[in-house]
Structure 1
Amino acid sequence: MRNCKRLAIAIGAALISSAQIQPSLAQKTDLAAESGRIIALSRAGQYREALPLAQAMVARLETTTNKRDLAAALTNLGQVLASLGRDAEAEPVDKRAISLYEAALGLDSVEIAPALNNLAALYQRQQRYAEAEPLFVRALAIREKALGGGHPDVGQALNNLATLYERQERHREAEPLFKRALVIYRKAAGADSAPVATLLNNLGQLTKSDGRFDEAEPLIRQSLAIREKLLGADHPDVARSLNNLADLKQRQQRYEDAEPLFVRARAIRERALGPDHPDAVVAMNNLAGLYLAAGRNADALLLVDRAVQRGQAQPKVALPVLFAAARDGGMPAGPAFDAAIDVIQRSAQSQAAAAVDKLAVRLAAGNDRLAELVRKDQDLAAANDALDKGLIAAVSRPAGQRDLAAEARDKTRLAAVIAERASLRAMLAKEFPDYAALSNPLPLKLREIQPLLAEDEALVAFALVDDASFVLAITRDRFDWQQIPVGGDALARRVMRFRRGLAPGASQDGGDGARAFHLDVAHELYTALLGPVEALIKDKRSLLIVPAGPLTALPFHLLVTAPPAEPVPATAAGYRDAAWLLRRHAIAVLPSLGSLKALRGAPRVDRGGKPMVGFGDPVFDPALAAGPRRTATQQASRSVATLAYTDFWRGAGVDRGQLARALAQLPDTADELNAVASDLGAPASDLHVGVDASETTVKRAPLADYRIVYFATHGLVAGDVKGLAEPSLALSIPASPSALDDGLLTASEVAQLKLNADFVVLSACNTIAGDKPGAEALSGLARAFIYAGARALLVTHWAVDSAAATRLMTDTFRRLKEHPTMGRSEAVRQAMLALLDDQSSPDSAYPSVWAPFVLLGETEMR
């Protein structure tokens, strides 16, 4: 991964991070000095030392009547927390600072701009762009009004907003902002200043991404020349410019010109930061990518093999290199395959880190042994980040200002922290294997996966890179992997087209309408995704699928294995005869490769004794609790996706009334719960509907006593409500939200539940991935429920018909009761086929009716 864009953005972010303000404490000399020390420590990268000072200042000012001073202290604290990577703690601090500034100074005070920037930068790091943009825009407008268009702070604000646009590839909007900022900095700081080098670099990156290579090269070369002049030939910022110039040459297929530039950039980073530093790892992967593009596969393999051994390989480069090596004999097939699944698992682990971090914050608040170890791991992680950032800040100083002895001491301390954290994680793995498997799963090798599979099972995993993808298939005694000539973006478009006929309101009358389900698209996806490994998997009764990226939104059981007689049948009944993949295989989805061991390696335990506990028909508007309920039809005009999460915030809290109005009531779900419970023999006392379907009820219920835990409500994938960082289940919204109960049961809260369930049913909209391919729901809710003790989940791909959901669930559970050895995925398969083949109801053959559910987790009853 060349990450040239990331480098340009990191420079922009550095401008943001320096935007700490001097609080308005001039009349209080001691507080002013304390604030100045916090800022100085932060600018030097000594965030760990700055944190207790910032926390103490906030505590000291909590009782003051001067909310302006408290807001300034909170702004500094939020910046320090964010610099330590503790975004979950920084976000509410930043929001509170903004709220206090607004109350004390009004909406347009220039003092509020740094707090706005802090929160916007946090959102940008989390790719919450819709929330970051209005904050950056507001900060720019405030500074322009207060300081004038030529002030350096305005240049910084322009760069911040332009960087956000560039991350979203909104180049036409970013370019004029970068150019305005460049004019400002040339006048304010000089033509050869560091800010000018940054802006030249950013403009060069943008024009390069647009393919305007003749414009990009002089810009990047100017940036490089300024940095070499100001900072010396061995400065890390020089390595950034070298990397960017090398990437330009590679895009022009001038490989011989690119190689010495990449080599020099790598050498600078390794000397300054050490060979295991992430920036040095990027440089090594960049060089491997160049060798791959130039057809020098043997040279690329040497670097990739080294990266795999260190756990540092990047899928974008490593997978094509390993595949080529296995194909051409440069590496034995078995070791190449093992290396590939290692790369895939480590990549998936990093993608799930945000959800795990939120769980760790919750666990650390406890007082047991696990909480103690988690807190220590967090402290070590913070020390690691602080030392790393401090080291980068130190080596980034001009040569004459560097303290080489201090840098050497910091490198030694960093190595000791890394070693101590590794030892702690080994302790966690021994004492709390479930938490370790969730937070830091060790990649499985082929020889560990195959014994976990039954004779009639095949596991299929996917990995997506820029312009290609890979499908890997494993059975008990064989394996295969093939390259798919379609990248992640193209697959996302195909999946969205596939799902168009499954959305609420899609036509069930067939015809050639754009909103009908297209069988030919389903067959094309089958051919692309599973066709390459069909010989290995076609005779297996059960398929275990590990999707990636946009494939998390793909219901694999609706793929079509043979060309359809007509792309769109004339009637709903015409879908019955399609060659659905479900007719050939029982299908289950796994949230990760490692979850197979977590599910099947755990000792057997007795199931809960009670049949079912259910939660449904929650009250989203507290005003409705005592009055008549609105129907789903009356609320259907409002969609949760029509509003951004920032629209629900008022000051430092969520406007639950606004959120409630965006959530449609679900009165049919009470009937669904009652019907399923009646069939299972569950008493009415175990059903919680209306106001009782709350977080408080869920958290206090003895859930471990039940074999089935059933939620019939809205599922909110991260991104449905823009900015909701975790996938969540919407429950009754209380009149007075609290930490215990705010109406949203998040993934990290789910992970703290105690379950012993054969099934958790999530009969709701969007509990798997909704219409947003790439949503991390599988590494959120699914992992959380499995960690909490669920053996399997039944989740929905789209808004379900309650009558169909009731029939599917009761049929599935009845089959398992009558045939306990059938297996969960086979029971779901047979229930779906029974509904599909029921000729008494022609409309039931339409796929959105019979196929909304997918099984996640363990397929067999153990």
Structure 2
Amino acid sequence: MKSPNRFALTVWLALIGGVGVTTASSAQKADAAARSAEIAELSRAGKYSEAIPLAQRLLADMERAHGPDHRDVAASLNNLALLYGSQGRDAEAEPLLKRSIALVERLHGAGSPEAAHQLNNLAALYQRQQRYAEAEPLFKRSLAIREKTLGPGHPDVAQSLNNLATHYEKQERHADSEPLFRRALAIYEKVGGPEHPAVATVLNNLGQVAKVGDRFAVAEPLIKRSLAIREKVLGPDHPDVARSLNNLAELYDGRRTRDAEKLFERALAVRERAVGPDHPDTARSMNNLAAFYAETGYPEKALPLAQRLIASGRGELRAVLPVLADAERNQLIPTEPAIDTMLHAIQRGAQSSAASAVNKLAVRLAAGTDRLAELVRRDQDLAAEAEALDKALVAAVSRERSKRDLAAVQRTRARLATISSERPSLQKTLSTEFPDYAALSNPLPLTVKEIQSLLSGDEAMVLLTTTIKESYVIAITRESFDWKPIPRATEGLSQEIAEFRRGLNIADVGDATGKSGLFDLARANRLYKTLLGPVESLVKDKRSLLIVPSGPLTALPFQLLVTAEPSAAIPEKLDGYREAAWLIKRHAVSVLPSVASLKSLRAFARRDHGIKPMTGFGDPLFDPSQSGGDKRAAIKSAARGAVTGAYTDFWRGAGVDRLRLAQALPQLPDTADELNAVAKNLGVAAADIHLGADASETNVKRAPLSDYSIVYFATHGLVAGDVKGLAEPSLALSLPRLPTELDDGLLTASEVAQLKLNAVWVVLSACNTIAGDKPGAEALSGLARSFFYAGARALLVSHWAVDSEAATRLTTATFDRLKSDPKIGRAEALRQAMLFYLGDSASPKNAYPAFWGPFALIGEGAAR
């Protein structure tokens, strides 16, 4: 579903000083109620930074006045928790909601309607964090309470049914959601009548479920009836009418083309009138219409819409890239401007998906008092206010005409226009006064000519972008450029890359040959033809490839692509892998986290280097019970090939379930051998290597890291997902018995960004430090960008659990080659180390890619 219409989850902002308060005077009750109302008004206006201190003081006052076990305290806890949630501070909101629930249950009973409200709020928080297993029983309990106390036909029961059904829909559990939606529909029809707006909403939800199940005959009458109710009851220019129009258009798309076109156009017109041309809902309609025009062969209609979307920063790649491609093919726009516009859209799209790492940094900076903190805090406040005003505008124009406050609507629109003009001015000030911060948080898109000016004659940049329908490759050299469509969508490429990576688990290799589970050379060649084949003539003679991947392609080890058809998909013996036409034999490969990072690395990066060769952190202690020497020796062989749970399994809001994480992360004692071997080769002092409990977040933060040319982490990289912005890519260090703000055992991307590095490169010799267990994870755009911001020129990272002996040989050989000839650059040094390992015939395993090919260089690979 592109834009299903859903009931909002219940948000209960309680008023204080109501019936039943007997220990306060009437004046005190009135004062508390007035303060609560002021907090609610600030919240509705999106002024959370102003509302939260008031809510904190009100809670403290209620506790002083009434003690900890009072209904007003419960309401204050709930209100403050909701405000924290509005700012994404779920780690602070969760304990307050739990306290409030416990208090309400003591005061009103565990089966009271008041408890049902609060349970729903906590369930909504869990759902927001994708903690579905924890949210579901709370939604169910809230529903059961309402059914028992209010009766099965009460509107609140219908709302709970809708909330639970929506919860199932978010997990694509359509068979579970549909009967609940139908029960909610029956209640609303009985209570409000067949033409109540709530009836229209649930009809729309049911239509969406049927549409996803490809049941056109079921979906059409449901969505049409929803549309008819909304047009009659709400009026033709209501935002909900636009939602129904859009949903019906999507249903007709591919079946009744002309009808779909008219509906998409009407939906856009309604939203432009109702909420204005710059609202996100309007942009969604514009993206849908542009994509429709492109798919149905009207590039001349699609191009102006795409250009407006890109200029506003609201263009969705699935819509604007096909439009620009068609426009260039149909000569509606010259090739270079077309590619520049594609680059602009791609870079803006990548920027939004990379924002989570920077957001945490911005929050920390905003806590300070300097000029940068002041500017960042102002920009954050404006962004939050604009978001709240957008919601308020939709709510205002959604009211019946007779009940709309036209003056308030006009004031809201005027304020949004002011913010729209003020924020670009703030961004310009940030760029002028703090260019390093601006380059990280809001990098300006580069054009073809700007990229060409940054490339040497022996380099080629290859930009690979995926969308839900097709993908694109753009190749740029100093002399030329080209682009081609790739007939593969994000989901298909994700599956292909997952298959490609089969056979790269070292633990599964053994001595077997000719097994179907081994690495497939034919698949590697097909993927090369798909991704790089279309631009091969432009890049094949360039020694260095600078690749900018996106989505699932961040999980692809490009060095293992095969440039010519192999004689056998799986060789008879492991030695047979040595003769394959590996991409690494032709090119030195560097991976860039973004197009703009090339300019940042080459124009802004520090040129002086640390005075000491290396400092390293490895073999951290995750479970204190394993701290004994005998126990650690017993798990020596378990280390690097062990399978860990997904990162998302352990996050709890902005915090982490430490017990589960400690139990799930296997120890990595082999990394101590690796670090000691590399340190010995480079002449590193013993005091500069931190192992076991010494490999702690405290020691990382307190070490003079800017003194070292190489900073080496040999541990788990937890980067499997961004969890809706609630969690960050992290490096797992020793978990302390008592976590503190300084040291909770996880070095996050935002904390990395605050380190002071002066490193030629940072080595992350860890399990899956590129993309974890989920192709398309935010490792490159989060963790890597933060290391660059901290002062690193390049990262050496691993795609899978690395053989300890191989890791030591590869890293040591890379450093040796660069030390012998600094002019070859880091990417070429890594390439030579890989080829030397691959060419070593002392063991057949040396030819197998899982041993020689795990590392990738992220960032600046050239000698500069």
TM-score by length of 1: 0.93
**Pairing of 1:694-733 with structure 2 (within 5 A):** 694-719=696-721, 725-733=727-735
- Is residue 44–residue 393 contact of structure 1 (8 Å, CA) maintained in 2? no
- Is residue 764–residue 796 contact of structure 1 (8 Å, CA) maintained in 2? yes
Q: Does residue 640 of the first structure (1) align with residue 644 of the second (2)?
A: yes
1:481 match: 483
1:60 match: 61
Go from structure 1 to structure 2 and tell me whether the alpha carbon gap of 1:724 and 1:125 turns closer, same or farther (over 3 Å shift). closer
- Is residue 767–residue 801 contact of structure 2 (8 Å, CA) maintained in 1? yes
**Partner Cα separation in structure 2 for residue 638 and residue 117 of structure 1:** 39
The number of equivalent residue pairs is 849
User: Bigger shift: 34-43 or 344-353?
Assistant: 34-43
1:207 match: 210
Corresponding residue SS for 2:645:
helix
Per-residue deviation, 1:724 = 6.8
Deviations 1:18-64 (A, max 9, x none): 44455796434347625862686389666557555434333434664
Per-residue deviation, 1:739 = 0.8
Q: Does residue 588 of the first structure (1) align with residue 581 of the second (2)?
A: no
Go from structure 1 to structure 2 and tell me whether the alpha carbon gap of 1:135 and 1:482 turns closer, same or farther (over 3 Å shift). farther
1:382 match: 384
Q: Does residue 162 of the first structure (1) align with residue 162 of the second (2)?
A: no
**Partner Cα separation in structure 2 for residue 6 and residue 789 of structure 1:** 41
Per-residue deviation, 1:482 = 0.6
Deviations 1:175-209 (A, max 9, x none): 22222222232234332222221111111112122
Corresponding residue SS for 1:505:
helix
Corresponding residue SS for 1:496:
helix
Per-residue deviation, 1:340 = 0.6
2:756 match: 754
- Is residue 363–residue 370 contact of structure 1 (8 Å, CA) maintained in 2? yes
Go from structure 1 to structure 2 and tell me whether the alpha carbon gap of 1:583 and 1:128 turns closer, same or farther (over 3 Å shift). farther
1:540 match: 542
1:518 match: 520
**Pairing of 1:484-499 with structure 2 (within 5 A):** 484-499=486-501
1:661 match: 663
Q: Does residue 183 of the first structure (1) align with residue 180 of the second (2)?
A: no
User: Bigger shift: 233-242 or 141-150?
Assistant: 141-150
**Partner Cα separation in structure 1 for residue 765 and residue 654 of structure 2:** 32
Go from structure 1 to structure 2 and tell me whether the alpha carbon gap of 1:59 and 1:626 turns closer, same or farther (over 3 Å shift). farther
Deviations 1:72-99 (A, max 9, x none): 323323333444xx21x24421343225
Q: Does residue 821 of the first structure (1) align with residue 814 of the second (2)?
A: no
1:851 match: 853
**Partner Cα separation in structure 1 for residue 654 and residue 438 of structure 2:** 34
**Partner Cα separation in structure 2 for residue 369 and residue 43 of structure 1:** 27
AA at the equivalent of 1:743: G
Corresponding residue SS for 2:475:
strand
AA at the equivalent of 2:372: L
**Partner Cα separation in structure 2 for residue 603 and residue 46 of structure 1:** 38
1:462 match: 464
- Is residue 152–residue 184 contact of structure 1 (8 Å, CA) maintained in 2? yes
Corresponding residue SS for 2:503:
helix
Corresponding residue SS for 1:500:
coil
2:435 match: 433
- Is residue 75–residue 94 contact of structure 1 (8 Å, CA) maintained in 2? no
Per-residue deviation, 1:571 = 2.4
**Partner Cα separation in structure 1 for residue 539 and residue 797 of structure 2:** 24
- Is residue 131–residue 723 contact of structure 1 (8 Å, CA) maintained in 2? no
**Partner Cα separation in structure 1 for residue 626 and residue 724 of structure 2:** 25
**Partner Cα separation in structure 2 for residue 233 and residue 499 of structure 1:** 53
- Is residue 720–residue 774 contact of structure 2 (8 Å, CA) maintained in 1? no
2:3 match: 6
Deviations 1:404-436 (A, max 9, x none): 122112111111122222111111111111211
- Out of 273, 285, 295, the position equivalent to 1:271 is 273
AA at the equivalent of 1:164: H
Per-residue deviation, 1:132 = 4.9
User: Bigger shift: 492-501 or 368-377?
Assistant: 368-377
1:98 match: 98
- Out of 20, 25, 30, the position equivalent to 1:27 is 20
Deviations 1:516-556 (A, max 9, x none): 11111111111111111111111110111111111111101
Deviations 1:743-778 (A, max 9, x none): 111111111111110110001112111231111111
**Partner Cα separation in structure 2 for residue 400 and residue 851 of structure 1:** 68
2:507 match: 505
2:618 match: 616
Corresponding residue SS for 2:541:
coil
Corresponding residue SS for 1:773:
coil
- Out of 791, 806, 816, the position equivalent to 1:789 is 791
**Partner Cα separation in structure 2 for residue 509 and residue 701 of structure 1:** 43
1:242 match: 245
**Partner Cα separation in structure 1 for residue 750 and residue 133 of structure 2:** 23
Per-residue deviation, 1:315 = 1.0
Go from structure 1 to structure 2 and tell me whether the alpha carbon gap of 1:733 and 1:583 turns closer, same or farther (over 3 Å shift). same
2:175 match: 172
Per-residue deviation, 1:491 = 0.6
Go from structure 1 to structure 2 and tell me whether the alpha carbon gap of 1:721 and 1:337 turns closer, same or farther (over 3 Å shift). closer
**Partner Cα separation in structure 2 for residue 677 and residue 382 of structure 1:** 48
Deviations 1:474-532 (A, max 9, x none): 11121111111111111111011111211353335454534211111111111111111
Q: Does residue 420 of the first structure (1) align with residue 427 of the second (2)?
A: no
Go from structure 1 to structure 2 and tell me whether the alpha carbon gap of 1:480 and 1:276 turns closer, same or farther (over 3 Å shift). same
AA at the equivalent of 2:160: A
**Partner Cα separation in structure 1 for residue 263 and residue 583 of structure 2:** 50
Per-residue deviation, 1:395 = 1.4
Per-residue deviation, 1:730 = 0.5
Go from structure 1 to structure 2 and tell me whether the alpha carbon gap of 1:698 and 1:90 turns closer, same or farther (over 3 Å shift). same
1:323 match: 325
**Partner Cα separation in structure 2 for residue 722 and residue 819 of structure 1:** 45
AA at the equivalent of 1:669: T
Corresponding residue SS for 1:501:
coil
**Partner Cα separation in structure 2 for residue 536 and residue 347 of structure 1:** 26
AA at the equivalent of 1:641: G
- Is residue 559–residue 580 contact of structure 1 (8 Å, CA) maintained in 2? yes
Q: Does residue 290 of the first structure (1) align with residue 283 of the second (2)?
A: no
Aligned-residue identity in percent: 58
**Partner Cα separation in structure 1 for residue 416 and residue 196 of structure 2:** 32
Per-residue deviation, 1:100 = 5.1
- Is residue 610–residue 706 contact of structure 2 (8 Å, CA) maintained in 1? yes
Go from structure 1 to structure 2 and tell me whether the alpha carbon gap of 1:43 and 1:805 turns closer, same or farther (over 3 Å shift). closer
Per-residue deviation, 1:467 = 2.2
**Partner Cα separation in structure 1 for residue 105 and residue 433 of structure 2:** 52
- Unaligned segments of structure 2, at least 5 residues: 22-28
AA at the equivalent of 2:861: T
- Unaligned segments of structure 1, at least 5 residues: none
1:37 match: 37
Corresponding residue SS for 2:507:
coil
- Is residue 508–residue 846 contact of structure 1 (8 Å, CA) maintained in 2? no
**Partner Cα separation in structure 1 for residue 39 and residue 116 of structure 2:** 17
Corresponding residue SS for 1:174:
helix
AA at the equivalent of 2:317: P
Deviations 1:569-590 (A, max 9, x none): 1222221111111111000111
**Partner Cα separation in structure 1 for residue 225 and residue 32 of structure 2:** 40
1:75 match: 78
Go from structure 1 to structure 2 and tell me whether the alpha carbon gap of 1:532 and 1:635 turns closer, same or farther (over 3 Å shift). closer
**Partner Cα separation in structure 2 for residue 134 and residue 636 of structure 1:** 37
1:300 match: 302
Go from structure 1 to structure 2 and tell me whether the alpha carbon gap of 1:762 and 1:262 turns closer, same or farther (over 3 Å shift). same
